[in-house]
């Protein structure tokens, strides 16, 4: 699917803003808006944006975990005790007795 297949003009968005808002909320897909015949802006429903940000965060976490897994296989990673101490220091968390 080409996300740039359905481009609308910014003027059309201004004229039919409420209709666009309903469509964005229902579909969860962004609207690509053009200025001077060229795609310039993307407008997205807030819930869909939050979901996108959450998924990006998960992807970043997976990338970090994969890197750490590769490092641990090559004995380049931290031990659990060292990692725990570093995280407790970084986030000022008291040690568990």
| pLDDT tens for each residue of 60-76 | 999 999 988 887 777 76
List the Cα angle 93/94/97 in 5-degree steps.
140
Instruction: Evaluate if pTM is beyond 0.85.
Output: no
Q: What is the pLDDT of residues 15-57, one digit of tens each?
A: 999 999 999 999 989 999 999 989 999 999 999 999 999 999 9
Which of 53, 11, 10, 51 has its CA nearest to residue 27?
A: 51
């Amino acid at each position: 699917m080409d996300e740039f297949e359905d481009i609308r003009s910014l003027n059309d968005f201004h004229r039919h803003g409420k209709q666009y808002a309903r469509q964005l909320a229902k579909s969860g897909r962004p609207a690509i808006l053009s200025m001077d015949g060229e795609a310039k802006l993307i407008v997205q429903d807030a819930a869909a944006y939050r979901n996108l940000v959450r998924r990006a965060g998960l992807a970043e976490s997976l990338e970090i975990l994969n890197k750490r897994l590769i490092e641990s296989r090559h004995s380049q990673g931290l031990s659990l005790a060292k990692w725990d101490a570093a995280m407790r220091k970084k986030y000022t968390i008291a040690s568990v007795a």
